[in-house]
Amino acid sequence: MRIEIRNDSVLLDGYVNVTGKDSRFIPSIKGKFKEQIVPEAFTRSLEKNDNVDLLLNHDKNRKLGSTKEGNLELFEDGIGLRAICTVTDADVIEKAKNGELRGWSFGFYSEKDKWEDTTEGFQRRYVEELELFEVSIVDNTRTPAYVGTSIEMRAEDEVTTEIRSIDSKTVIVDKSEKKKDKENRTTEFNNSFYKKQIEILKLKSYK
pLDDT in tens, the chain (207 residues): 999 999 999 999 999 999 999 998 988 888 899 999 999 999 999 999 999 999 999 999 999 999 999 999 999 999 999 999 999 999 999 999 999 999 899 999 999 999 999 999 999 999 999 999 999 999 988 765 556 555 554 555 556 778 888 766 789 899 887 655 554 444 444 555 545 555 655 555 545
For residues 15 and 42, is the Cβ–Cβ distance under 8 A? no
Q: Does residue 116 share a domain with residue 193?
A: no
Q: Does residue 54 share a domain with residue 116?
A: yes
For residues 54 and 71, is the Cβ–Cβ distance under 8 A? yes
pTM for the predicted model, two decimal places: 0.79
Q: Does residue 35 share a domain with residue 85?
A: yes
Q: Does residue 198 share a domain with residue 180?
A: yes
Q: Does residue 187 share a domain with residue 162?
A: no
Note the pLDDT tens digit of each residue in 48-98: 999 999 999 999 999 999 999 999 999 999 999 999 999 999 999 999 999
Domain that holds residue 156: 2-175
Q: 3-class SS at 188?
A: helix
Q: Does residue 110 share a domain with residue 188?
A: no
Q: Does residue 180 share a domain with residue 155?
A: no
Q: How many domains does the chain have?
A: 2
* DSSP-assigned letter for residue 147: E
CB neighbours of 116 closer than 8 A, spacing ≥ 6? 123, 124, 126
For residues 81 and 16, is the Cβ–Cβ distance under 8 A? yes
Q: Does residue 130 share a domain with residue 52?
A: yes
Q: Does residue 124 share a domain with residue 86?
A: yes
Backbone torsions φ then ψ of 73, nearest 5 degrees: -120, 130
Q: Does residue 185 share a domain with residue 84?
A: no
For residues 187 and 202, is the Cβ–Cβ distance under 8 A? no
Q: Are strands 157-165 and 101-117 parallel, antiparallel or unpaired?
A: antiparallel
Q: Does residue 99 share a domain with residue 24?
A: yes
Q: 3-class SS at 203?
A: helix
